[in-house]
Amino acid sequence: MARRIALLLCVLLSASVLRAQDNFFEKWEARTSATQAKQPAWSPPLITIFNGLIQVARTDFTRQITPTRTTTWNYGTSKGVNLIPWANTEIDINLPPFLTHSAPTTIDGAGDMSFAVKYRIATGNAEHGNYAISMCLPISIPTGSYKNGSTNASLSPTFETGKGFGRFNLQNTIGATLPTGNTVKLGRPIVWNTSAQYHLGRYFWPAMESNATFFHGGPNDGKSQEFLMPELLLGKIPVRREQHTRMGLSIGAGEQIATSKFHTYNHALIFTSRFLF
Protein backbone atom coordinates (compact mmCIF):
# COMPACT_ATOMS: atom_id res chain seq x y z
CA MET A 1 0.00 0.00 0.00
CA ALA A 2 2.82 2.42 0.90
CA ARG A 3 4.48 1.80 -2.47
CA ARG A 4 1.23 2.53 -4.31
CA ILE A 5 0.74 5.75 -2.38
CA ALA A 6 4.34 6.79 -3.10
CA LEU A 7 3.92 5.97 -6.79
CA LEU A 8 0.67 7.95 -6.93
CA LEU A 9 2.34 10.94 -5.27
CA CYS A 10 5.20 10.79 -7.79
CA VAL A 11 2.75 10.71 -10.70
CA LEU A 12 0.78 13.65 -9.29
CA LEU A 13 3.97 15.63 -8.63
CA SER A 14 5.28 14.97 -12.16
CA ALA A 15 1.97 16.03 -13.67
CA SER A 16 2.00 19.20 -11.57
CA VAL A 17 5.56 20.04 -12.68
CA LEU A 18 4.68 19.45 -16.34
CA ARG A 19 1.58 21.65 -16.06
CA ALA A 20 3.68 24.37 -14.42
CA GLN A 21 6.26 24.15 -17.21
CA ASP A 22 3.57 24.25 -19.90
CA ASN A 23 1.95 27.22 -18.19
CA PHE A 24 5.32 29.04 -17.95
CA PHE A 25 6.12 28.61 -21.65
CA GLU A 26 2.57 29.45 -22.73
CA LYS A 27 2.68 32.69 -20.75
CA TRP A 28 6.14 33.51 -22.15
CA GLU A 29 4.98 32.87 -25.72
CA ALA A 30 1.80 34.92 -25.27
CA ARG A 31 3.74 37.82 -23.74
CA THR A 32 6.32 37.76 -26.53
CA SER A 33 3.66 37.66 -29.24
CA ALA A 34 1.78 40.57 -27.65
CA THR A 35 5.00 42.61 -27.38
CA GLN A 36 6.06 42.00 -30.98
CA ALA A 37 2.54 42.67 -32.31
CA LYS A 38 3.01 46.34 -31.33
CA GLN A 39 6.08 46.84 -33.56
CA PRO A 40 6.79 46.68 -37.32
CA ALA A 41 7.26 43.20 -38.78
CA TRP A 42 10.57 43.96 -40.51
CA SER A 43 13.39 41.49 -41.07
CA PRO A 44 16.50 42.13 -38.91
CA PRO A 45 19.37 43.33 -41.18
CA LEU A 46 22.71 41.56 -41.32
CA ILE A 47 24.76 44.17 -39.40
CA THR A 48 22.48 47.10 -38.50
CA ILE A 49 20.92 46.28 -35.12
CA PHE A 50 17.22 45.52 -35.47
CA ASN A 51 15.22 48.47 -34.10
CA GLY A 52 12.52 46.30 -32.55
CA LEU A 53 12.59 43.26 -30.27
CA ILE A 54 13.35 39.77 -31.55
CA GLN A 55 13.48 36.29 -30.06
CA VAL A 56 15.88 34.15 -32.07
CA ALA A 57 18.76 31.69 -32.02
CA ARG A 58 21.30 32.93 -34.55
CA THR A 59 24.73 32.23 -36.01
CA ASP A 60 26.62 34.24 -38.63
CA PHE A 61 29.74 33.48 -40.67
CA THR A 62 32.02 36.18 -42.08
CA ARG A 63 34.97 36.12 -44.47
CA GLN A 64 37.14 39.26 -44.57
CA ILE A 65 39.87 40.00 -47.10
CA THR A 66 42.43 42.69 -46.19
CA PRO A 67 44.35 45.02 -48.55
CA THR A 68 47.32 42.63 -48.26
CA ARG A 69 45.07 39.79 -49.54
CA THR A 70 45.02 37.86 -46.27
CA THR A 71 41.75 36.17 -45.32
CA THR A 72 40.03 35.85 -41.96
CA TRP A 73 37.04 33.57 -41.37
CA ASN A 74 34.85 34.35 -38.35
CA TYR A 75 32.68 31.36 -37.46
CA GLY A 76 29.86 32.62 -35.28
CA THR A 77 30.17 36.39 -35.66
CA SER A 78 26.81 36.77 -33.89
CA LYS A 79 26.33 33.31 -32.39
CA GLY A 80 23.83 33.12 -29.59
CA VAL A 81 20.26 33.69 -28.49
CA ASN A 82 18.04 36.77 -28.13
CA LEU A 83 15.17 36.57 -25.63
CA ILE A 84 12.20 38.79 -24.74
CA PRO A 85 11.68 38.10 -21.01
CA TRP A 86 9.51 41.17 -20.34
CA ALA A 87 7.49 43.67 -22.32
CA ASN A 88 9.67 46.20 -24.21
CA THR A 89 12.88 44.40 -23.13
CA GLU A 90 15.33 42.10 -24.92
CA ILE A 91 18.37 40.27 -23.56
CA ASP A 92 21.07 38.90 -25.91
CA ILE A 93 23.70 36.29 -25.10
CA ASN A 94 26.42 35.90 -27.76
CA LEU A 95 28.89 33.03 -27.42
CA PRO A 96 32.54 33.46 -28.45
CA PRO A 97 33.14 32.97 -32.19
CA PHE A 98 36.13 31.11 -33.64
CA LEU A 99 38.50 32.87 -36.02
CA THR A 100 40.88 31.35 -38.59
CA HIS A 101 43.51 33.27 -40.56
CA SER A 102 45.41 32.71 -43.79
CA ALA A 103 48.33 34.82 -42.51
CA PRO A 104 50.96 32.32 -41.27
CA THR A 105 52.00 34.56 -38.35
CA THR A 106 48.47 34.90 -36.93
CA ILE A 107 47.20 32.14 -34.63
CA ASP A 108 43.62 30.89 -34.89
CA GLY A 109 41.47 31.05 -31.77
CA ALA A 110 38.28 32.05 -30.00
CA GLY A 111 36.95 35.61 -29.93
CA ASP A 112 35.18 37.59 -27.23
CA MET A 113 31.89 36.76 -25.53
CA SER A 114 29.26 39.49 -25.35
CA PHE A 115 25.88 40.35 -23.88
CA ALA A 116 23.33 43.05 -24.64
CA VAL A 117 20.28 44.60 -23.04
CA LYS A 118 17.78 46.47 -25.22
CA TYR A 119 14.81 48.60 -24.20
CA ARG A 120 12.18 49.58 -26.77
CA ILE A 121 11.28 53.19 -26.00
CA ALA A 122 8.40 53.65 -28.44
CA THR A 123 6.92 51.76 -31.36
CA GLY A 124 3.95 51.36 -33.67
CA ASN A 125 3.03 48.54 -36.03
CA ALA A 126 2.02 49.00 -39.67
CA GLU A 127 -1.42 50.28 -38.62
CA HIS A 128 -0.07 52.68 -35.99
CA GLY A 129 2.82 54.65 -37.49
CA ASN A 130 5.15 51.83 -38.57
CA TYR A 131 8.17 52.93 -36.51
CA ALA A 132 10.47 51.84 -33.66
CA ILE A 133 12.83 53.65 -31.27
CA SER A 134 15.12 51.70 -28.94
CA MET A 135 18.24 51.91 -26.79
CA CYS A 136 20.74 49.04 -26.60
CA LEU A 137 23.77 48.38 -24.39
CA PRO A 138 26.10 45.64 -25.71
CA ILE A 139 28.81 44.51 -23.28
CA SER A 140 31.90 42.67 -24.53
CA ILE A 141 34.10 40.48 -22.30
CA PRO A 142 37.74 39.76 -23.32
CA THR A 143 37.57 35.96 -23.62
CA GLY A 144 39.51 35.79 -26.90
CA SER A 145 42.64 33.68 -27.26
CA TYR A 146 45.89 34.47 -29.12
CA LYS A 147 44.92 38.14 -29.70
CA ASN A 148 41.67 37.20 -31.47
CA GLY A 149 39.73 39.43 -29.09
CA SER A 150 40.11 42.72 -27.27
CA THR A 151 42.46 43.30 -24.35
CA ASN A 152 39.70 44.89 -22.25
CA ALA A 153 35.97 44.72 -21.68
CA SER A 154 33.90 47.41 -23.40
CA LEU A 155 30.46 49.02 -23.36
CA SER A 156 28.75 50.09 -26.59
CA PRO A 157 25.68 52.26 -25.91
CA THR A 158 23.62 52.43 -29.11
CA PHE A 159 20.59 54.47 -30.16
CA GLU A 160 18.25 52.88 -32.73
CA THR A 161 15.48 54.32 -34.90
CA GLY A 162 13.41 52.91 -37.73
CA LYS A 163 10.54 54.07 -39.96
CA GLY A 164 8.49 52.16 -42.50
CA PHE A 165 6.76 53.41 -45.61
CA GLY A 166 4.56 50.61 -46.85
CA ARG A 167 6.83 47.74 -47.92
CA PHE A 168 9.95 49.92 -47.61
CA ASN A 169 11.73 50.71 -44.33
CA LEU A 170 14.80 52.56 -43.08
CA GLN A 171 16.62 51.37 -39.95
CA ASN A 172 19.38 53.42 -38.39
CA THR A 173 21.74 52.87 -35.42
CA ILE A 174 24.55 54.94 -33.97
CA GLY A 175 26.74 54.01 -31.03
CA ALA A 176 30.22 54.22 -29.53
CA THR A 177 32.54 51.49 -28.26
CA LEU A 178 33.91 52.51 -24.85
CA PRO A 179 36.71 50.25 -23.52
CA THR A 180 37.09 49.96 -19.77
CA GLY A 181 40.86 50.35 -20.13
CA ASN A 182 43.80 50.57 -22.56
CA THR A 183 42.01 53.33 -24.49
CA VAL A 184 45.30 54.63 -25.95
CA LYS A 185 45.56 51.41 -27.97
CA LEU A 186 41.88 50.61 -28.48
CA GLY A 187 40.43 54.10 -28.95
CA ARG A 188 36.71 54.94 -28.81
CA PRO A 189 35.29 54.36 -32.30
CA ILE A 190 31.80 55.56 -33.27
CA VAL A 191 29.77 53.16 -35.44
CA TRP A 192 26.91 54.36 -37.65
CA ASN A 193 24.86 51.78 -39.56
CA THR A 194 21.89 52.32 -41.87
CA SER A 195 19.72 49.75 -43.66
CA ALA A 196 17.31 50.48 -46.53
CA GLN A 197 15.08 47.42 -46.87
CA TYR A 198 12.17 46.37 -49.10
CA HIS A 199 9.70 43.52 -48.58
CA LEU A 200 9.34 41.69 -51.89
CA GLY A 201 6.64 39.04 -52.13
CA ARG A 202 6.11 36.92 -49.04
CA TYR A 203 9.62 35.87 -48.00
CA PHE A 204 12.19 38.11 -49.74
CA TRP A 205 13.84 41.11 -48.06
CA PRO A 206 16.46 42.73 -50.36
CA ALA A 207 18.36 45.58 -48.71
CA MET A 208 21.33 47.91 -48.93
CA GLU A 209 23.33 48.71 -45.81
CA SER A 210 25.86 51.43 -45.07
CA ASN A 211 28.35 50.51 -42.31
CA ALA A 212 30.54 53.42 -41.22
CA THR A 213 33.16 53.68 -38.44
CA PHE A 214 34.75 56.91 -37.19
CA PHE A 215 37.95 56.27 -35.23
CA HIS A 216 38.76 58.35 -32.15
CA GLY A 217 42.03 57.45 -30.46
CA GLY A 218 43.99 54.27 -31.12
CA PRO A 219 46.22 53.60 -34.14
CA ASN A 220 43.59 54.87 -36.63
CA ASP A 221 42.78 58.11 -34.79
CA GLY A 222 41.06 60.67 -37.01
CA LYS A 223 40.35 58.21 -39.83
CA SER A 224 37.00 56.83 -40.99
CA GLN A 225 35.86 53.94 -43.13
CA GLU A 226 32.61 53.01 -44.84
CA PHE A 227 31.25 49.91 -46.51
CA LEU A 228 28.17 49.48 -48.68
CA MET A 229 26.56 46.06 -48.49
CA PRO A 230 23.90 44.67 -50.83
CA GLU A 231 22.11 41.81 -49.09
CA LEU A 232 19.17 39.45 -49.38
CA LEU A 233 17.28 37.90 -46.48
CA LEU A 234 14.78 35.07 -46.85
CA GLY A 235 12.14 34.51 -44.16
CA LYS A 236 10.31 34.00 -42.00
CA ILE A 237 9.62 30.45 -43.25
CA PRO A 238 7.27 28.61 -40.84
CA VAL A 239 8.44 25.22 -39.55
CA ARG A 240 4.97 24.18 -38.35
CA ARG A 241 1.65 23.92 -40.13
CA GLU A 242 -0.23 25.91 -37.50
CA GLN A 243 -1.45 29.23 -38.89
CA HIS A 244 -0.10 31.39 -36.05
CA THR A 245 3.07 29.49 -35.20
CA ARG A 246 5.95 31.58 -33.87
CA MET A 247 8.64 29.16 -35.04
CA GLY A 248 10.34 29.86 -38.33
CA LEU A 249 13.63 29.92 -40.24
CA SER A 250 15.44 32.80 -41.88
CA ILE A 251 18.64 32.81 -43.92
CA GLY A 252 20.53 35.52 -45.71
CA ALA A 253 23.79 36.73 -47.23
CA GLY A 254 25.48 39.97 -48.18
CA GLU A 255 28.86 41.41 -49.14
CA GLN A 256 30.48 44.50 -47.69
CA ILE A 257 32.38 46.57 -50.26
CA ALA A 258 34.77 49.30 -49.09
CA THR A 259 33.84 52.74 -50.46
CA SER A 260 36.18 54.93 -48.36
CA LYS A 261 39.85 55.63 -49.11
CA PHE A 262 40.88 54.19 -45.75
CA HIS A 263 39.58 50.74 -44.79
CA THR A 264 40.91 47.99 -42.54
CA TYR A 265 39.71 45.33 -44.99
CA ASN A 266 38.62 45.43 -48.64
CA HIS A 267 35.39 43.47 -48.48
CA ALA A 268 33.60 40.84 -46.41
CA LEU A 269 31.13 38.11 -47.28
CA ILE A 270 28.51 37.52 -44.58
CA PHE A 271 26.11 34.58 -44.13
CA THR A 272 23.38 34.28 -41.49
CA SER A 273 21.03 31.54 -40.32
CA ARG A 274 18.31 32.22 -37.74
CA PHE A 275 15.71 30.19 -35.89
CA LEU A 276 12.89 32.41 -34.68
CA PHE A 277 10.69 31.25 -31.84
255 by DSSP, 3-state: which?
Answer: strand
Residue 84 carries which side chain, given as an amino acid letter?
I
Q: What does the alpha-carbon distance between residue 214 and residue 217 come to, in Å, rounded to a whole number?
A: 10
Outline where the chain has alpha helix (H): 2-36, 183-186
The alpha carbons of the chain give a radius of gyration, in whole angstroms, of 22
Helices (H) and strands (E) in the chain, counts: 2, 17
CB–CB of 199/171 below 8 Å? no
Answer yes or no: pTM beyond 0.75.
yes
Outline where 111-221 has alpha helix (H): 183-186
The DSSP line for 63-112 is EEE-TT--EEEEETTTEEEEEEEETTEEEEEEE--EEEESSTTS--EE--
- DSSP assignment letter at 215: -
Residue 136 carries which side chain, given as an amino acid letter?
C
Backbone angles phi, psi at 33, to 5 degrees: -65, -40
Burial (CB < 10 A; 0-12, 13-18, 19+), residue 238, is middle
Per-residue confidence (pLDDT) for residue 25, from 0 to 100 = 86
Helix (H) or strand (E) holding 250: strand 248-258
Residue 129 carries which side chain, given as an amino acid letter?
G
Torsional class of 47: left (φ above 0), alpha (ψ -120 to 50), beta (otherwise): alpha
Backbone angles phi, psi at 218, to 5 degrees: 75, -175
User: What b/e string do you get for 107-145 counting C-beta neighbours within 10 Å, with b at 16 or more?
Assistant: eebbbbbbebebebeebbbeeeebbbbbebebbbebbbe
Instruction: State the distance between the two ends of the chain, measured CA to CA, in whole angstroms.
Output: 46
Burial (CB < 10 A; 0-12, 13-18, 19+), residue 79, is buried
Q: pLDDT tens digits for the chain (277 residues)?
A: 666 665 554 554 454 544 555 688 889 999 999 999 999 999 999 999 999 999 999 999 999 999 889 999 999 988 899 999 999 999 999 999 999 999 999 999 999 999 999 999 999 999 999 999 999 999 999 999 999 999 999 999 999 999 999 999 999 999 999 999 999 999 999 999 999 999 999 999 999 999 999 999 999 999 999 999 999 999 999 987 776 778 999 999 999 999 999 999 999 999 999 999 9
